[in-house]
Structure 1
Amino acid sequence: MAKEIEGYEGYVNTVLPFKTVGDLVLSADVLYPRQKPSSPAPVLIHYHGGFLVFGERYTFLPEWLAQASVNRGWIFVTPDYRLIPETTAHDSVEDAVDLYHWVSESLSSLIDRELGSVVVAGSSAGGFLALTTSVVVKAKPAVAFLIYGMLDMINVHYLTKGSNIFGQPVFDTTETREYLKNIKDKPVLTGYAFPADPTQDPRLKIVSTLHIDATFPDYMTGVPGLSDKVVQNGVEAIPAEHRKLYPLTFGRLDDLPPVLIVHGQNDTAVPVTLSEVAVQKLQAAGVSVHAEFPDNAQHGYDAAAGRRLESELGGDLSGSGFDSLRKSLKVLDQIIG
């Protein structure tokens, strides 16, 4: 599968295992300069999206971000992580954090390259992982870059029943709820490619069901009925051992690095409100935040950029959404440079 992120001039791609859990081997794609740089190369880690339920490191690879890393002589890393609902978001976060530590402690010797600053980035659910990782780890990254992220997972959006993603119709979730009753008996997945027909895919029906029934908190934590308890009693209903999954509410934010946020105002899968709340809470904690809220940037819109965002061929990529990505990269350059 490494072929899918080949073709970056002057770069080598290799797949390296970074963690083993039972029979599961979690790996990361590492894109790094063929020739040794004369100075330490910054590393950009990207966590893929998929609502924590599906996706893998190829399905939602932001080629524009990988190309931006290549343009700057950086190293680009994109990893597996365990998916819910067969397991909980605790495992997803643990994998994201372990990958971060692996990059910091082991990657240099494995690829024989000296590493510089580390940037954590993520799209959608990957934005949640990037933010949570930044809060959890002691040695902070240089920047967190959050792209239409699921940043506030106890927002009213995830506690309100009766709506589906992308404006799709609400359906009877009985069949999927029956399947979910025995979900802990199913094998844990570390990736699930985006299906050819998403409207009929059972995995995507799980995502819709978690939205329609407002049970994301239940399956993130493994606590049945948690969403209803939060609605009734507020966030204090979340047990202490699960609070690290909600860093904007319970995490320490005042020691975070600069945060870049891009989120379209017309996003119908992850509402822009989640990022707006994040900006408010981060700035209140004294964090430096650069936020872009383009008016026309639907969820996943950046995939259309391919590798062209910063190239001469990218001139047709006009509009506030792509301009927001370019502006964010300039801010990133200022911080890392």
Structure 2
Amino acid sequence: MASFEYRTFTFRNVNSSAVELDLVRDTSAPSSLASPKKTLVFFHGGGLCSGNRRSRFPGWPLEVLMRRGWLILTADYHLLPEGQVEDMINDVKHLETWILAEGRQLGIDPELIAVAGSSAGAFVSCLALASWTKLRPRAFYSLYGMLQTDSDWYVTVKDGSASFAGLPATSLLAEDSEHYLVSGNTPVWHDTTEMNDPRNRVRLFMWLLKEGKIGPLVTSSLKAATGENSPLDLITSSFPPTVAIHGTADTVVPIADSRALVAALTKSGVENQLVEVSGADHGITPQDKYHAEIEKSVDLLEAYIRS
């Protein structure tokens, strides 16, 4: 039976407040005591507006890796709209410094690192891969990545019949979310709003998506930080081999995002593979139905690490 151990560390301080990461391992895995070892640096999803390093842990893919002896490093990062993409870039740069300074003594092999992100976490992964100057990850694992953020899907108003992962668009009200857009709000990098609260930050993202506001918000912040309109514009030949997995029936992040990702990688000469999961919604749900496809993507990731 799996037994997960979480060790928490501070990798950055902002105005005397800690930005933290967890180092997670399965203590029952055969190689759990081996050191150093393969490590997945994982960024959570949440539309860049919500979530934290624990609340968006995508289940089966990471459990499979830990069962095979991997470490998982999952880190918080600044959230929109209080934070900006520039803050996220500073987060991932501090994370790189921490891994190089502290990682090996904690069992991380800096030569055997993969970077991964689920949904908006794939966006943050691209920021890391484009910003890191010393770490050279061996692979990128994009789980239903939110990446083509300047496309029509993120800038158009959805009609009342729309539904996002089962959440009706009609239930997303301006009065529950507009207060987040007030300037001067305190920066947030560890969202703990409750899902049953109509003013929670997941619903903020969904409302921004419904209103076609998330695309302009993300694009303006990314452009201010990097000069680019989309994280796909950050891709160069220096990106590592990439595995992407995405459901064909995703109602939050369309599979077109992952298809655009592999097209950009191919154009840059980066080896890549896309696992399309027929009928799966956001999160490759229901995951119990798609274990075989998820394990296939993990096998491809491990092949890139071994190569």
TM-score (norm 2): 0.85
Deviation at 1:254, TM superposition (A): 1.5
Contact in 2 for aligned 1:265/1:293 (Cα 8 Å): yes
Secondary structure at the aligned position of 2:227 is classed as helix
Instruction: Give the whole-Å Cα distance in 2 for the aligned partners of 1:123 and 1:328.
Output: 13
1:40 maps to which of 33, 36, 41:
36
CA distance, structure 2, for counterparts of residue 279 and residue 298 of structure 1? 20
What is the CA-CA distance between 1:171 and the residue it aligns to?
A: 6.7
Q: Structure 1 pair 74/248, CA: closer, same or farther in 2 (3 Å)?
A: same
1:12 to 1:115, Cα distance in 2 relative to 1, 3 A: farther
Alignment of 1:126-145 (within 5 A): 126-138=121-133, 139-145=135-141
Matched-pair identity in %: 24
Find the aligned partners of 1:207 and 1:22 in 2 and give their Cα distance.
26
- 1:215 alignment counterpart: 213
Quick one: structure 1 residues 54 and 174, their matched pair in 2 at CA, closer, same or farther if it must change by over 3 Å? closer
- Between the aligned partners of 2:171 and 2:33, the Cα distance in structure 1 is 54
SS at match of 1:274: helix
Distance 1:13 1:178 in 2: 35
Q: Distance in 1 between matches of 2:177 and 2:107?
A: 49
Q: Which has the higher strand share?
A: 2
Q: Structure 2: which amino acid aligns with 1:179?
A: H
Residue 180 of structure 2 is aligned to residue 185 of structure 1: no
Paired residue for 2:300? 331
Cα offsets for 1:46-71 (capped at 9, x unmatched): 11111011111221213323332322
Q: Of the candidates 20, 34, 53, which is equivalent to residue 49 of structure 2? A: 53
| Other-structure match for 1:30 | 23
State the shift of 1:222 in Å. Answer: 5.7
Q: What is the CA deviation profile of residues 234-253 of structure 1, one whole-angstrom value per residue up to 9, with x for unaligned ones?
A: xxxx856443562313x242
State whether residues 248 and 278 of structure 1, in contact with CA within 8 Å, keep that contact through their aligned partners in structure 2.
yes
Aligned partner of 1:204 in structure 2 is 202
Partner of 2:76: 80
Output one character per residue of 1:74-132: Cα deviation in whole Å (capped at 9) or x when no partner. 221111111111111221233234323422332223x2665541111110111111123
Query: 1:15 — aligned with what?
Result: 8
Task: Give the number of the structure whose alpha-carbon radius of gyration is greater.
Answer: 1
Q: 1:172 to 1:252 in 2, by over 3 A?
A: closer
Distance in 2 separating the partners of 1:151 and 1:173 = 25
For these two proteins, the number of residue pairs brought into alignment is 297
Q: How does 1:179-328 map to 2 (within 5 A)?
A: 179-182=179-182, 184-193=183-192, 195-197=194-196, 200-220=198-218, 239=223, 241-244=225-228, 246-249=230-233, 251-301=234-284, 305=287, 317-318=288-289, 321-328=290-297
- 1:294–1:324: 8 Å Cα contact kept in structure 2? yes
Q: Which range is displaced more, 158-167 or 172-181? A: 172-181
Equivalent residue number for residue 66 of structure 2: 70
Which amino acid in the other structure matches residue 216 of structure 1?
Answer: I
**Secondary structure, aligned partner of 2:277:** coil
In structure 2, the residue matched to 1:169 is 169
Aligned to 1:4: none
Q: Normalising to structure 1: TM-score of the pair?
A: 0.78
For the residues of structure 2 that align with 1:242 and 1:114, how far apart are their CA atoms? 30
- What SS does the corresponding residue of 2:74 show, helix, strand or coil? strand
Unaligned runs of at least 5 residues, structure 1: 1-6, 224-237, 306-316
- Work out the CA distance in 2 between the residues paired with 1:211 and 1:174: 12
CA contact (8 A) 1:221 1:242 kept: no
Closer, same or farther: CA 57–178 of 1 in aligned 2, 3 Å: closer
Between Structure 1 and Structure 2, the one with more helix by share is 1
